[in-house]
Structure formats: structure tokens, C-alpha cells
Structure 1
Amino acid sequence: MITVTGANKHYGNFAALDNVTLDIPSGSLTALLGPSGSGKSTLLRSIAGLETLDSGIVTIAGRDVTHISPQKRDIGFVFQHYAAFKHMSVRDNVAFGLKIRKRPKPEIAKRVDELLGIVGLDGFQHRYPAQLSGGQRQRMALARALAVDPQVLLLDEPFGALDAKVRTDLRTWLRRLHEEVHVTTVLVTHDQEEALDVADRIAVLNKGRIEQVGTPEDLYDRPENDFVMSFLGPVAKLNGKLVRPHDIRVGRDPAMAQAQLEGTAESAGVTRATVERVVHLGFEVRVELRNAATGDLFAAQVTRGDSEALRLSEGETVYARATRLPQLPENVIEQPESAGVGEPLTTSK
């Protein structure tokens, strides 16, 4: 287990970490998720020993490593940029950590062959980094980090420099790799979909503090505050309530969703809106709408079948209601910079 207790880190007047406490279970894959400047990379680098805390304690497997050098913390580290030795072959890159530890040659050869098979680079042993694709270079970097059999694997936005398709493929691959090697892994990302797809647990950070820790399902379905809901997936504002776009029903009947019971989703009422844009995203369709009463933009997400049945077109009047609402405090919040079209700047008191 990794335990961070009361971690504080300042750069001048800026609090990168503000009394952060976090437990990361052994064998888990935990994502540190948050916008730029939230403190996620500083927290990861503090666990690695690459940043010195102003105050606080870091323990790994019950050992206080707060003042121990990175080389003695038994960790593997993978950065966004591959940091490969360009003059070395794939085999020599992966073997590097074992060689400097003076492991026997037969042991090195066996371990390297095993890892290259695991990461799908068997047959690439004699290539050089320049002869690999970006995804292959990142898999080589992961194999090199795993070669020394670390207690902890730390990944600092490892797929950030790759295109969307390769990132998606590597996320699936990383999940399978983790299930095979079971090393305690901490992943820094600002990509909500990546965190939801890969991690067992997610810690959401904001302005140097942890807002909530839990499983992807917990955070998505039961966010503890508006920031967590807004950052972990798209949101829209409907009659002053935060709601997921896929929980908005769109139709042409103004009586489609009259409030029936106080406290239910239906009590949010019906919103008359104008269709601003219809965006086809494969199976799903995003309908961008403007509230007729307030002029605010919001977005609903419907299936392609529902969109075809409704035959929505720009400029027409429709009606929208929430089919599900989270139980969230109603207060003004500052939304993350990643908010997209139709996402609110505030919730209403």
C-alpha cells in the first residue's frame, strides 16, 4: 500500500498540494485525475521522490520513504515522453535497469524476453527506438520500468503524446497488462474517459486538494459535489440542475414530463428549447439546445435511433426533461476549463 499523509507542497504562494491524504491499496490501478494545476503530477512526483514535500509523510509497503532517494524507493516510472536510449536496441533499453544492478546475464535475458512477450514486442528486440511507432515506444518504456520488478509503477500521462486511436488501444492493453502483472500502479491523467476505462479507483484533485476518491462507478453515479460531477464526464444545466446529457429526454410534446412527485427527477419540470445543432457521433447523437426562457445553452445525448425517429432539425422547438438527477448541493461553483458546449458555468441557488 502507498500512503500519503498530510502532504503539502508550495511553489512561492501557489499551493500545489494542500494537506493531501490518500491511501492507494496494494495491487490496485489508481488514477489521479484533475485539470491542469490541480496537483496530480506533483503528488505522483512526491510519491516517486522527485519532489520534496514541505511537510507530510509518504510510505510504501509500510516503509517511510519521505526522505529516501527515488533510487531506493523500489519504483518504476514512465513519463509522457519515452526517454528512450536512442543508441540502444529495444532489448538493451529494457535490460538497462537490470544491467546496472549487475544481475546475471541469463537472468537478464530471460526477464527481457518475458517482458517483451507480455508487452507485445516479441520480435522487435533488435530494433532501435526510431524504428518503432509511438505506441510501441511507450510499451517499451513500460517494459523497461517493469524489468526491475518494482513494488510500485508510476505513470505520468503516459499516453498524452499519442493520437486518439493509439491511446484507446493502449488503454485496453494497459488494463490487461495490469491484470497480468498485478503491480501497484498510479496513473496521472486529465482524460476522464481514460480514468474511467482503466482505473480500479480514481482520486479527483482540484486546486491541490482531493475532492473525492472511489471506484469509477461511485464517482460517476454518486459524485460528492458539483466539481466531481462536472469534471468526471459531461454535464448540462436543466432548470438550474446539473444533469448528465444522456439523462435528458427530448421530445415535441410539452406535456411529456409534467412534475408528478416532489423530489423525483420529474420535479425538475419541462424546459422548452430551440435546437441549435445536431451532431452525429456514431451510435450517439448530441443535440445542442438553447433554453427558450433563459437563453442558456445545454446539450442532450440521444441514440441514433431516437434521433432518426424525432427527425430533429436546427431551429425547431422541442421540450426536454431530466430522467435522472444526482443528489448534489445547489451552490455556485467554478467549472473546470475542459467544460464543453452546453456545460454550465454555475448551478443555481
Structure 2
Amino acid sequence: MITVTGARKNYGDFAALDDVDIEIPSGSLTALLGPSGSGKSTLLRSIAGLETLDDGIVRIGGDDVTGVTPQKRDIGFVFQHYAAFKHMTVRENVAFGLKIRKRPKTEIGRRVDELLGIVGLDGFQQRYPAQLSGGQRQRMALARALAVDPKVLLLDEPFGALDAKVRADLRTWLRRLHDEVHVTTVLVTHDQEEALDVADRIAVMNRGRIEQVGTPRDLYDRPANDFVMSFLGNVSRLNGKLVRPHDIRLGREPDLARAQDAGTAGSVGVTRATVERVVHLGFEVRVELRNAATGEDFTAQVTRGDARALGLAPGETVYARATEEPALPETTRVPIG
């Protein structure tokens, strides 16, 4: 388990970490999610020992490592930009940490072959980093971090420099890898889809503080405040209420927009709106609308079948109603950034 208590870190007048407490269970994959400047990378680097806290305690496996050097914390660290040794082969890169620790050659060979098989690079042993794709280089970096059998694996936006298709493939691969090796993993990301897809638990950060920690489903269905709701998935504001675009029902007549079941939609009511734009996104359709009463823009997400049945087109009038509205606490306004 990783435990951080009362963590504070200031850069001049800027509070990168403001009294942060968090527990990361052993064997979990926890995502630190938040906008730029929220403190997620500072928290990760503080766990690694790459940043010195102004105040607070970091424990790994019950041991206080606050004053321990990074080399003695028994961690693996993977950055966004993989720091590969260009003059070394894949095998030599992965074996580097084991050689530094003076492990027997037979053990090094066995461990490197095992890891290259796990990360899907079996057969690439004699290639150099320049001969690999970006995704392959990042998998090599993960194999190198895992080679020394660390207690903790720390990933600082490891897929941020890759294109969308490669990122999606590597997310799936990382989840499978974690299920196989079960090393306690902390992933920093600003990508909500990545966090929802990969993590067991998500800690949402904002302005150096943790707003909420929980499972992806808990945070999505029961956000602690409007910041968490806004950051963890798309939102629309309908008559002053935050709702998910996929929870907005559209109809040509007011009665057709009404929810099929009561839910909590009674407090939102039916709103007349003008269609501003219809965007086809493959399996779904995003409908950009303007509230006829307030002039406020909002977005609904409907199926292709519903969009076709409604015959949606810019300039036309429709009626909208929320079919579900998250029960946010009374005091939920949290500044962003």
C-alpha cells in the first residue's frame, strides 16, 4: 500500500500540493486524474522521491520513505517520453537495471525473456529503439521498469505522446498486463476516457487537492461535486442543472420528450430548444441545441436510430428533458484549474 499524509509542496506562491491525503491499495491500478496544474504529476513525483515535500509523509508498504532517495524506494517509473538508451538493443535496455544490481547472467536472461514475452516484444530482442514504433518503445520502457520487480510502478502520462489509436490499444494492453503482474500501479493522466478504461480507482485532483477518490462507476454515477462531474465525462447544463448529454431525451412534441419512468426528472421539466448542429460520431449522434427560453447552449447525445426517427436538422424546434440527474451535494461549486 502507498499512503500519503498531509502532503504539501509549494513553488513560490503556487501550491502544487495542498494538504493531500491518499491511500493506494496494494495490487491496485489507481489513476490520478485532473487538468494541467492540478498537482497530479507533483504527487506522483513525490511518491517516487523525485520531488521533496515541504511537509507530509510518504509510506510504501508501511515504511516511511519520505527522506529516502528514489533509488532506494523500490519503484519503477515510466515517463511520457521513454528515456531509452539509443545505443543499446531492446534486450540490453530491459536488462540494464538488473545488470546495475549485479544479478547473475542466467537470472537476467530468464527475466528479460519472460518480460519481453509478457509485453509482446518477443522476437525484437536485437532491435534498437529507433527500429521500434512509439507503442513498442513504450512497452519496452514498461518491461524495463518491471525488470527489477518493483513494489510500485509509477506511470506519468505514458501514452500522451502517441496517436489516439495506439493509445487505445496500449490502454487495453496495460490493463491486461496489470491483471497478470498485479504490481501496485499509479497512473497520471488528464484523459478521462483513459482513467475510466484502465483504472480500478480514480483520484480526481484540482488545484493541489483531491476532490474525490473511488471506483470509476462511483465517481461517474455519484460525483462529489460539479467539478468531478464535469471532469469525469461530458456534461450539459439544462435549466441550471448539470446533466449527462446521454441522459437528455429529445422529442418533436413536449409529451414525447418526457421520461419513460419518473426517476428524478421531475425537477428539470421539458425545455423547448432550437437545433444548432447535428454531428454524426459513428455509433452516436451529438445534437448541439440552444435553450429557447434562456439562450443557453447545451448538448444531447442520441442514438443514430433516434436521430433518424426525429429527422433532426439545424434550425428546427425540439423539446428536451433530462431522464436522470445526479444527486449532487448542496455545496458543489468548485473552481476549475
Mapped partners of 2:147, 2:303: distance in 1? 45
Q: Which moved more, 1:250-259 or 1:89-98?
A: 250-259
Which residue in the other structure is 1:59 paired with? 59
Mapped partners of 2:257, 2:124: distance in 1? 60
Which residue in the other structure is 2:324 paired with? 324
Which residue in the other structure is 1:347 paired with? none
Q: Give runs of aligned pairs for residues 1-349 of structure 1, distance below 5 A.
A: 1-257=1-257, 264-329=264-329, 333=333, 336=336
What are the superposed Cα offsets for residues 108-165 of structure 1, whole Å, 9 maximum, x if unpaired? Answer: 0000000000000000000000000000000000000000000000000000000000
What are the superposed Cα offsets for residues 214-240 of structure 1, whole Å, 9 maximum, x if unpaired? Answer: 000000000011100000000000111
Aligned-pair CA distance for 1:308: 1.0
Aligned-pair CA distance for 1:264: 2.5
What are the superposed Cα offsets for residues 37-86 of structure 1, whole Å, 9 maximum, x if unpaired? Answer: 00000000000000000000000000000000000000000000000000
- For the residue of structure 1 that corresponds to 2:266, the secondary structure is helix
Distance change (3 Å), C-alpha of 1:30 and 1:243: same
Number of equivalenced pairs: 337
Taking only the aligned residue pairs, the percentage that are identical comes to 83
Mapped partners of 2:295, 2:278: distance in 1? 18
What are the superposed Cα offsets for residues 200-221 of structure 1, whole Å, 9 maximum, x if unpaired? Answer: 0000000000000000000000
Aligned-pair CA distance for 1:266: 2.6
Distance change (3 Å), C-alpha of 1:217 and 1:52: same
Aligned-pair CA distance for 1:329: 3.8
Q: Which amino acid aligns with 1:265?
A: A
What are the superposed Cα offsets for residues 263-299 of structure 1, whole Å, 9 maximum, x if unpaired? Answer: 8213210111100000011111000001111111100
Mapped partners of 1:15, 1:304: distance in 2? 46
Mapped partners of 2:189, 2:55: distance in 1? 25
Mapped partners of 1:146, 1:225: distance in 2? 37
Mapped partners of 1:170, 1:122: distance in 2? 17
Instruction: Answer whether contact 2:249 2:259 (CA < 8 A) is retained.
Output: no
Aligned-pair CA distance for 1:336: 4.6
Instruction: Answer whether contact 2:48 2:75 (CA < 8 A) is retained.
Output: yes
Distance change (3 Å), C-alpha of 1:178 and 1:332: closer
Name segments (4+ residues, structure 1) moved above 2 Å: 255-264, 329-337
Mapped partners of 1:261, 1:81: distance in 2? 50
Q: Which amino acid aligns with 1:306?
A: D
Which residue in the other structure is 1:341 paired with? none
Q: Which amino acid aligns with 1:267?
A: S
Q: Which moved more, 1:322-331 or 1:121-130?
A: 322-331
Aligned-pair CA distance for 1:256: 3.3
Q: Which amino acid aligns with 1:297?
A: D
Aligned-pair CA distance for 1:309: 1.0
| C-alpha RMSD of the superposition | 1.7
Q: Which amino acid aligns with 1:38?
A: S
Aligned-pair CA distance for 1:261: 11
Q: Which amino acid aligns with 2:228?
A: V
Instruction: Answer whether contact 2:263 2:323 (CA < 8 A) is retained.
Output: no
Instruction: Answer whether contact 2:204 2:212 (CA < 8 A) is retained.
Output: yes
Mapped partners of 1:250, 1:260: distance in 2? 12
Unaligned ranges ≥5, structure 1: 338-349
* TM-score, reference length from structure 1: 0.94
Q: Which amino acid aligns with 1:171?
A: R
- For the residue of structure 2 that corresponds to 1:203, the secondary structure is strand
* TM-score, reference length from structure 2: 0.97
